[in-house]
């Protein structure tokens, strides 16, 4: 059974829902609004929503093309997969499909987070405000590390579930029984 306990199931559902909303509301909308964030006025009107995070990662202020396309994919595809998984697991409908959507979304989240961190690492941390503990360790690393920890745990649990189902002889085409 995936997840192994009722509490784990609740965590997965809440995480998938929150992650999907964050991807849709934060990243998806930023990728569209990004070209409009490069003016001084962006710190005082409706664009303030994104410019605050830009104090920690300057790529958000100058609409870095790599981050923009990464966030566009995350804000659309990964958001939809997460929300589909959360809904399916919550309502207990099409659970095997919801689990597969969760696995794909989790792999994409880990990959995207590694690319996000890695691109800045290879850039010498030029776009991160390393003079501020809050900007560097809480806003840049801490918040983004959540998208390594939770999806990584989901990948681990899902792979463990599918390999145990395979070992139990449940690969005859029928979906494994889920509680």
Within a domain: 152: yes
Residues spanned by the domain of 113: 6-167
pLDDT (tens digit per residue) in 73-109: 999 999 999 999 999 999 988 889 999 999 999 999 9
CB within 8 Å of 43: residues ≥ 6 apart? 51
Task: Tally the C-alpha atoms within 13 A of residue 137's C-alpha that lie toward its C-beta.
Answer: 4
Q: pLDDT tens for residues 27-40? A: 998 888 888 777 66
DSSP type of residue 176: P
Q: Report the chain's C-alpha Rg in angstroms.
A: 18
User: What does the DSSP 8-state code read for residue 175?
Assistant: P
Q: Quick check: 48 pLDDT over 80?
A: no
Domain count, the chain: 1
Domain assignment present for 175? no
Asked whether residue 25 is assigned to any structural domain, the reply reads yes
Asked which of 32-41, 46-55, 111-120, 166-175 is least confident by mean pLDDT, the reply is 166-175
Residue 127 vs residue 56, higher pLDDT: 127
Q: How far apart are CA 36 and CA 69, in angstroms?
A: 16
Please provide the DSSP assignment of 96-154 as one string.
HHHHHHHHHHHHHHHHHHHHHHHHHHHTTTTTB-TT-HIIIIIIIIIHHHHHHHHHHHH
The verdict on residue 83 lying in a domain is yes
Q: What is the mean pLDDT of residues 127-154?
A: 93
pLDDT band at residue 126, thresholds of 50, 70 and 90? Answer: very high
pLDDT digits (tens, 9 = 90+) for 149-165: 999 999 999 998 888 86
Give a yes or no: residue 159 inside a domain: yes
User: Across the chain, how many H-helices and E-strands are there?
Assistant: 8, 0
Residue 43 CB neighbour total at 10 angstroms: 14
Please indicate, yes or no, if residue 33 is contained in any of the structural domains: yes
Look at residue 3 and tell me whether its pLDDT is greater than 70. Answer: no
Q: What are phi and psi of 57, to 5 degrees?
A: -130, 105
- On whether residue 51 sits in a domain, the answer given is yes
The predicted structure's pLDDT at residue 167: 55
Short-list 11, 18, 7, CA closest to 143: 18
pLDDT of residue 56: 81
- The mean pLDDT value for 117-123 works out to 94
């Amino acid at each position: 059974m995936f997840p192994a306990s009722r509490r784990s199931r609740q965590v997965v559902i809440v995480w998938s829902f929150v992650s999907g909303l964050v991807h849709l509301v934060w990243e998806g909308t930023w990728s569209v609004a990004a070209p409009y964030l490069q003016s001084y006025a962006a710190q005082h009107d409706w664009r303030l929503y994104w410019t605050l995070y830009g104090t920690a990662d300057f790529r958000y202020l100058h609409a870095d093309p790599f981050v923009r396309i990464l966030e566009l994919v995350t804000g659309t595809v990964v958001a939809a997969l997460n929300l589909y998984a959360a809904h399916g697991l919550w309502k207990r409908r099409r659970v095997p499909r919801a689990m597969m959507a969760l696995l794909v979304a989790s792999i994409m989240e880990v990959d995207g987070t590694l690319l996000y961190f890695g691109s800045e690492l290879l850039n010498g941390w030029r776009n991160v405000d390393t003079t501020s503990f809050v900007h560097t360790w809480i806003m840049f690393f801490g918040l983004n590390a959540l998208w390594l920890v939770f999806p990584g745990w989901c990948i681990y649990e899902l792979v463990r579930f599918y390999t145990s189902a395979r070992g139990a002889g449940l690969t005859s085409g029928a979906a494994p029984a889920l509680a």
